[in-house]
Each structure stands twice: as structure tokens, then as C-alpha cells.
Amino acid sequence: MRDAPGWSLSLGRWGGVGVRLHILFLLFAVFAIAACLRSPDKDLLSYGITALLILFVSVVLHEAAHCAVAISAAPCIDRVVLWPLGGLEYIHPTHDVRHEFWMGMSGPLTNLAVSGLLAPALFLTRQSPFTLLNPLLPPAGVEGLSLANCVAVAFWINWVLATVNLLPAYPLDGGRILRALLSIQFDQRTSVTIVARVAQCCAVLICVLGVLLYRIYPFAWVPLVVFGIFLFFSAKQEVGRFERESMDESTLGYDFSQGYTSLDKTFDPVVPRNPGLVRSWIDQRREARQQRKESLERQEEQQVDDILSRMYECGIDCLSKAERSLLDRVSQRYRDRQRQ
């Protein structure tokens, strides 16, 4: 999700806002349809396609609520990227705590409102909404595609979208809400850092929960672990994005928002970013190869002295093929160094 627009398909502009569909939504749809095709129940495919359509409409309603609140305060939405749990809005921050809070709450509240409107319909179809509150247990479609099943699926999907998005983690709405509340007491940098740490703790708990619930929900533990890993690295990415935006607000590292007097301040040295485990491993491997190469070259250069002494005594014919190759290789190395 680091480059969401690059991994999405354009759905055009809706109300002046660019809407794109993330590849995760397409992969989720393919996985769901494949699971339905593997089932012996022939009606399950139509049930699964209907559930995907309901999910898409619910996600669109979720994001439409975000956009409505954002445009009411500042019409600054670049685009929206839809994914299975909602969307990623590219909105310029307004630094208004109340606006940020309600913009985060608008999506989950919309899904809760849809679930609330569907609750009476569940009673009419002799179903209890309380049996659909488990986010890990979707309503079964054993009876095929029917109005009662569609209502139950719509209720469950909107309930899941609301509850999951209220988790205090990036890029979910709960992360935006918590950051807005923290910004009342703390500065923006501290608020972002606190939310990132809370999000990483939630991610670890979700992974642990997925492992513990393996026997009870054998098909749910993999999505939970993947979701937890995604939240963990999204939190780290959000901190990095905030750091980049903070640097963009200044020119050559100087803050001119209060005039040129900021040049008189003492600036802290720039702390290099942690390259990460993979990059560190690659750098260590490269450095080790370079050290082995230099050590081998020193050994070969020491052998050249002995080879030249024997060649002076008995001529080049007494040298073996390997010794001649070594001599040519070291000679070429000396010529290359002279050219540099």
C-alpha cells in the first residue's frame, strides 16, 4: 500500500473526485469467487458475487461520507482509492481538530447507520442481528441467494466495516480519530508517533489473536495475521510520510514560516534513516564480498614476487599455466589502477 495509486485501476471521476480500485480489492474478489467455485453448492457462486457487490456499494458509501465531510470544510480531495476495508483518501490536512475527528468518524458512522436500518428487516425475515455481530463469522449462504440472505450479508458487511475501521491504527479511520484527539494535548509529531506505536501494538495483538483462534476459525487466522502485518508496517510508513511532509514544508531544512529569524536557531543534526533489515543484510553482504576480494588480491600480489623471482632464474617456460594466468591477472589489475 506504499504506492496505492500505482497499484490501482481508475474508475473515472465521481463528483469531481478521482476514484480508483486497489488491486487488493480485485485479489480479494478473485479469492472469494475461487472459494465459491470449489464448493459443491452451486448456489454459492451467485451468493458470493452478490456479497462482493454489497461490499463494493458499502465501501463506496463509506468513502462518500468521508468526502462529504472533507468537502464541507475544504475542497481539497485529490483522489480516493477503494480497498476491501474502505478506502485511502488523499486529502490535504486542514489542521482542524474537529474537522479531522468528524472526517474520521463519518465513514464508520455511515456503515453503522446502514446496519441499524437493516436491523428491522432482519427481524421481519425472522433473523436476529445479534447473531451477526461476530466479525469472524459471516452469515452462511447454505439456502442460496435470497432476500433474507442479502439483508444478512449487508448487515454483517457494514458492521464489520464500522468496527474494523474504528481500530486505532493507520490507515484505518480509528488512527485519524485518535490522532485528532491527541493533537488537543500534544503537537502533531508526538500525536503521529503515539498513534503509530498504538497501531503496532494492535497489529501484534491481531496476529496473536489469529494464531490463538486457528482451531475455532481455521479460515480466519490467515487474513488476521496478514492484516496485522499490514497494520504494523503501515504505522511505520505513516511516520515516514509525516517526516517527508515536514521536510517539504521547509526550504533547504529551514523553516521560514516565522520569517528569517529561524536561521539564527541551532539545528539538530540530521539523523540517518534506518535502512531496514533487508537493506542492512544486502549492505553487509556487499561489504563482505569486497573484503574477500581485497584479501584475495593481496594474496595474489604476494605470490607474484615469488613467480617473478623464479621467472628471472629459469625463464617464463618454467611457469605453470596457473602461474601465468595469475601473473597476467595482477598485471592487468596494475594497469587498471594506473588508468584510474
Give pLDDT tens digits for 171-230. Answer: 888 988 998 899 888 888 888 889 989 999 999 999 999 888 888 887 778 888 888 888
Beta strand 77-83 pairing with 17-22: parallel
pLDDT in tens, 307-324: 787 777 777 777 777 777
Split at pLDDT 50, 70, 90, the class of 251 is very low
Calculate the alpha carbon distances from 232 to 81, 197, 223, 235, 245 in Å: 20, 9, 14, 5, 21
Q: What is the mean pLDDT of the chain?
A: 78
- pLDDT, position 281: 64
Q: Percentage of the chain surpassing pLDDT 70?
A: 79
Using the predicted structure, report yes or no on whether residue 77 has a pLDDT greater than 90: no
For cell 587498471, what's the residue?
Answer: 336
CA 77, CA 71: separation in Å to the nearest integer? 7
Cell of 70: 472533507
Host H or E run for residue 254: none
Give CA torsion, residues 112, 114, 117, 123, to 10 deg.
-80
Instruction: Tell me the pLDDT band of 256, cut-offs 50, 70 and 90.
Output: very low
Angstrom distance (rounded) from CA 78 to CA 256: 26
Where is mean pLDDT largest: 3-17, 26-40, 324-338?
A: 26-40
Distances (CA, A) of 12 to 17, 22, 65, 78, 304: 8, 13, 18, 13, 70
pTM of the model: 0.66
Q: Is the pLDDT of residue 114 over 90?
A: yes
The more confidently predicted of residues 296 and 163 is 163
* Cα–Cα distance list, 321 to 309, 317, 327 (Å): 17, 10, 10
Q: Is the pLDDT of residue 241 over 80?
A: no
Average pLDDT over residues 161-167: 93
Q: Which of 193, 191, 187 is nearest to 177 (CA)?
A: 191
